[in-house]
């Protein structure tokens, strides 16, 4: 077998495992990790344009922030499991899985995309005028939807 076939087989196995493990949460998590990597890379590339020095402390701190983002999704998944467990105890099955975790991941993805766009702008690359407002709108809709749901619970 060629090396390309081994690589394709490896990627397929990894993504199949991740998909079976995370289910509906697989796509948002994969997109989030991809955005984390792109944001980190574009941040490093943009630092000379911002007259910032790159050092190991800042790099490690940036990586720890990304890891904490993943932990937020895990917290969302734990909350989802607690809600599902509580529903099962009272005899109700929720029609969704990983809703809170997906919302957290989507919110993080929006933040990462906004940061990526800012990094690219700082490097002097022009971006389409509609792109940043579009992402900010998606982020605010996620935040507004949660705020509406919280307001309804207070009634």
> How far apart (Å, rounded) are the C-alpha atoms in residues 155 and 146?
15
Angle between helices 26-46 and 3-22 (to 10 degrees): 120
Per-residue pLDDT, 112: 94
The domain spans of the chain are 24-154
Per-residue pLDDT, 136: 82
> How far apart (Å, rounded) are the C-alpha atoms in residues 151 and 117?
32
Q: What is the chain's pLDDT, residue by residue, as a tens digit (155 residues)? A: 588 888 889 889 988 888 888 888 999 999 999 999 999 999 999 999 988 887 888 888 989 999 999 999 999 999 999 999 999 999 998 888 899 999 999 999 999 999 999 999 999 998 888 888 888 888 888 787 777 555 555 54
Per-residue pLDDT, 30: 92
User: Collapsing DSSP states into helix, strand and coil, what is residue 11?
Assistant: helix
């Amino acid at each position: 077998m060629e090396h390309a076939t081994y690589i394709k087989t490896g990627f397929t196995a990894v993504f199949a495992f991740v998909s079976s493990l995370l289910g509906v949460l697989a796509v948002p998590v994969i997109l989030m990790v991809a955005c984390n990597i792109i944001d980190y890379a574009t941040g490093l590339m943009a630092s000379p344009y911002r007259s910032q020095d790159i050092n190991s402390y800042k790099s490690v701190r940036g990586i720890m922030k990304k890891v904490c983002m993943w932990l937020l999704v895990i917290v969302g998944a734990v909350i989802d499991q607690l809600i599902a467990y509580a529903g099962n105890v009272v005899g109700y099955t929720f029609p969704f899985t990983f809703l809170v975790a997906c919302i957290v991941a989507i919110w993080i993805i929006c933040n990462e995309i906004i940061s990526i766009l800012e990094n690219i702008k700082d490097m002097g690359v022009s971006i389409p005028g509609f792109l940043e407002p579009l992402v900010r709108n998606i982020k605010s809709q996620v935040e507004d939807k949660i705020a509406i749901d919280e307001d309804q619970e207070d009634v």
